[in-house]
Each structure stands twice: as C-alpha cells, then as structure tokens.
C-alpha cells in the first residue's frame, strides 16, 4: 500500500505562511528530522540554507536553523539566492543537505521548503516519506548533546560563487556586447545575481522586478506574468527579454516584438543547438506530459525521442538520470541542463538562448521559433469528495475523445497534485476540434460532479 504524503507535495512543502504546514514549529521539527537522517559518519555535518525575498523567510529560516543545530548540524546561510544556486553550493561545499525556502511563483503570502541531497538533487519521494515518518515519531533521545550542537555562519561570497559558475557556462570567446536585454527578476531571489551576470558578459541591461520589499515577489511581474516582460521589451526597444520566477528556477522569454516564447520552444532551441555540436546525450530530451506535441514531432524529425514524465521538474531530473539525457524541462520554463546544474535554472537556460543569438547573428523572433506548436487547450474542473475520473461515464467520454484525436492529437486528463481539480487538456491539428473535446469533457465531468449522471 502506498504511504500518504502529508507534508510534501510535488515540489517540497508549501503553504500559507504562519499556518500549517508552514509554521515555525514544523520548520523546526523538519530541521531536526532531516538533520538526523542526513547525519552519517564522523565528519562535521553541514546544511546550506538559502531563501527568496518574501517576508516569511525571516520566520522559516531561523526555525530551520535551530532545528538543524539541534540535530548537531552546522548551518551555512546564503541569504536570498536562486534555488539552483543552493543546489550548486550544496555540492561545491560538500554539504550533507541543501534547503531552499521559497514558494517559487506563488504570492508572498505563501512559502515553501525544498530539500536537496548532498549530490545537489531534490530528494526522492521515498526520502521525503522517511522525513515525514521521523517527524511523527519521538526522536528526542537522538538530538545532539550540549557539546555537540551545530553552529551557524553566513557565506558572504555565496552570490559571487553562483555568478561565476553561471558565467562559466557561456561559450568561451562569446560576449553579449551590443545586446539590449530586459531581465525581469520577479522581485525575487535573483534580483541581484541575474542583472550582474548579464552586465558582466557585456549586455546593456534593463533590470526590472529588482526592488523586493518582502511583499511584492511575483506581483505583476516575473515568468508567470509574461505580459509585463513583453511590454518592457517593446518600451525599451530591447533585443530580447528574459523573465524569471520568484526562486529563478524557471524562464520565459520575450522576443524583440514582445511575443512570448515558452519553455517548450526554449527546450527545442537548446536541443537543436546541442545536436548540431554533438553535445546532446541520452538519445533525446526529457519533458513532461504537458509539453506540446510539436516538440515531440521535432525530436522525431531528428531521429530522437521525447521522454515524457509526470509534471514536476524533480521527476524530469529523475528521468534524465535514468535515460542519460543531459537536457530536460517543462513547458512552464523549468529547463534542466545536467552538464551545468542538477535542477532547473532560468539564468543558465537564458544564456544558452543568448549564445545561439550571438553565434547566429539572428534576432530572437527567428531563433526562438523552432517548431510549429499545435493548438493546445487546458481547463480545470473543481470537484468535492471522490474523484469523478473513476465514474464509468467519464471514462467512456475520455475514451471517445482519445479516439477522436487519434493520429492528429492527444488528450490528457489528470488530477492536480495540490488542489481538488481535474485538469483537462487536449491538443491537435484542428483548434476547433480541440476546443470541442475539452469543453465536452469538462461538461461531462461537471455533470458527474453535480450528480446529474
């Protein structure tokens, strides 16, 4: 029987700040439990803790710190820093654990905790379940004795280390001289490092979303509000715009015309570049079930595979390790390049896009349109109680919709991992048929939910 995950979701623990499960008490106990599980051997054990810019970071950070110190772990604090930077530092400092305090693209009211193992990879479902189980037990007799408590210190050059690592990923000999780039940092974790990287590589940088106040993270800006980026690109006459989310692990691009380029196109652009230079490994690219069918067909044209996995960049990373692929990501803009990082990194991905622009001498509008996207439509249906997907009428409707799109598209029905929602997605060559399929399935699911079937 599968164990139920009470605290951990698809990307760590997340919730409204100062309410269960994002309380100081739970953060303290999480630090103790994770600290005990990752304390092995006779060396001094270390955890790296980073955060984004939301106000509640001041609540969660000291609580986690106290928990790890209580378990006998030394704590290294980085301050506001992107999620991929914390993963990088965990490996480079030979820490036993890494922690990022962030709710990613959510509003400031929420916060979250993401955990990385010593290899810089996000913890598996099994490890998270181990932590939950220990948190529910009495481990007081295992905590550190007074003389064995950990210590806390701040890593003053954390941002500089990350900046240099990101710059090292840019092809040697290339510069961004002459490019005007709008970078939207979402008033989040990359508000200092992202403009610095682009500036030091020679770009004319227009930095927006770089004035965090604890409340404005992701508010009207960032990768989940691409219209703002597009307007800024047009207003400033920039060659390209890049938008990150609150913890900078995802990227959305706007070309010089102010048109949005999503994660699927970014994946395709990097894949095509790496294929041309013989750098792409693993026989293809890893993406999720949400990625556009056009991307899959492009990979087939290259004689390669699009390995699909469930939604969540953690699952993308796991599948990349299984297949030996060095490129994977999500339509939402998470792009993982295992040659450079263990998790999604919006800034690293942006540099790969910029490198292609520089090398080709072509504008973003040409470079970033790699394949023809098929019409895709996603709608949500809220439900209460048992899932309507198990109802025979819904199953029959899904089978009929799948048959209707066979050979020209596909249907994807799934339950949200965080809300009582059924997500209904279809894509195909005919936009009108796609809309009919999605609307019909939503109506059928809603009817079952209302008890009319």
d(CA 95, CA 77): 12
Catalytic residue IDs: 104
Q: Starting at the edge strand that comes first in sequence, how are the strands of the sheet with 251-254 ordered?
A: 204-208, 180-184, 240-244, 251-254, 260-261
d(CA 211, CA 272): 36
Task: Spell out the residues 6+ positions from residue 113 whose beta carbon is closer than 8 angstroms to its own.
Answer: 12, 13, 14, 22, 27, 30, 60, 64, 99, 100, 101
Distance of alpha carbon 166 from the chain centroid: 17
d(CA 337, CA 421): 31
d(CA 52, CA 187): 9
């Amino acid at each position: 029987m599968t164990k139920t995950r009470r605290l951990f979701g698809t990307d760590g623990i997340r919730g409204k700040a100062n309410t269960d499960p994002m309380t100081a008490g739970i953060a303290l106990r999480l630090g103790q439990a994770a600290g005990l599980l990752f304390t092995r051997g006779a060396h001094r054990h270390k955890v790296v803790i980073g955060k984004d810019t939301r106000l509640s970071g001041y609540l969660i950070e000291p609580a986690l710190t106290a928990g790890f110190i209580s378990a006998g772990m030394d704590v290294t604090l980085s301050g506001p820093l992107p999620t991929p930077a914390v993963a990088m530092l965990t490996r480079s400092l030979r820490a036993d654990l890494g922690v990022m305090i962030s709710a990613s693209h959510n509003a400031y009211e929420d916060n979250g905790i993401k955990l990385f193992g010593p290899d810089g990879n996000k913890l598996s479902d099994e490890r998270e379940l181990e932590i939950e189980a220990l948190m529910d037990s009495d481990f007081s007799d295992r905590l550190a004795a007074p003389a064995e408590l950990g210590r806390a210190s701040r890593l003053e050059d954390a941002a500089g280390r990350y900046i240099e690592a990101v710059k090292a990923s840019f092809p040697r000999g290339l510069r961004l001289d002459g490019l005007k780039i709008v970078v939207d940092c979402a008033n989040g974790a990359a508000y200092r490092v992202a403009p610095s990287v682009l500036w030091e590589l020679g770009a004319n940088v227009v930095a927006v979303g770089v004035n965090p106040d604890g409340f404005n993270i992701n508010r009207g800006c960032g990768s989940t509000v691409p219209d703002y980026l597009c307007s800024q690109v047009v207003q400033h006459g920039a060659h390209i715009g890049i938008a990150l989310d609150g913890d900078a692990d995802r990227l959305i691009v706007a070309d010089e015309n102010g048109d949005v380029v999503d994660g699927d196109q970014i994946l395709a652009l990097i894949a095509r570049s790496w294929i041309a230079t013989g750098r792409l490994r693993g026989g293809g690219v890893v993406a999720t079930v949400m990625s556009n069918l056009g991307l899959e067909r492009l990979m087939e044209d290259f004689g390669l595979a699009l390995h699909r996995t469930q939604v969540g960049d953690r699952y993308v990373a796991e599948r990349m390790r299984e297949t030996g692929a060095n490129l994977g990501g999500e339509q939402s803009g998470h792009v993982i390049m295992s040659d450079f990082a263990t998790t999604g990194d919006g800034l690293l991905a942006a540099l790969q896009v910029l490198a292609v622009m520089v090398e080709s001498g072509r504008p973003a509008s040409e470079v970033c349109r790699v394949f023809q996207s098929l019409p895709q439509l996603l709608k949500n249906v809220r439900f209460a109680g048992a899932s309507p997907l198990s109802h025979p009428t819904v199953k029959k409707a899904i089978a009929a919709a799948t048959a209707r799109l066979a050979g020209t598209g596909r249907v994807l029905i799934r339950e949200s991992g965080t809300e009582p929602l059924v997500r209904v997605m279809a894509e195909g060559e005919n936009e009108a048929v796609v809309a009919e399929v999605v609307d019909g399935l939503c109506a059928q699911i809603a009817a079952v939910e209302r008890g009319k079937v």
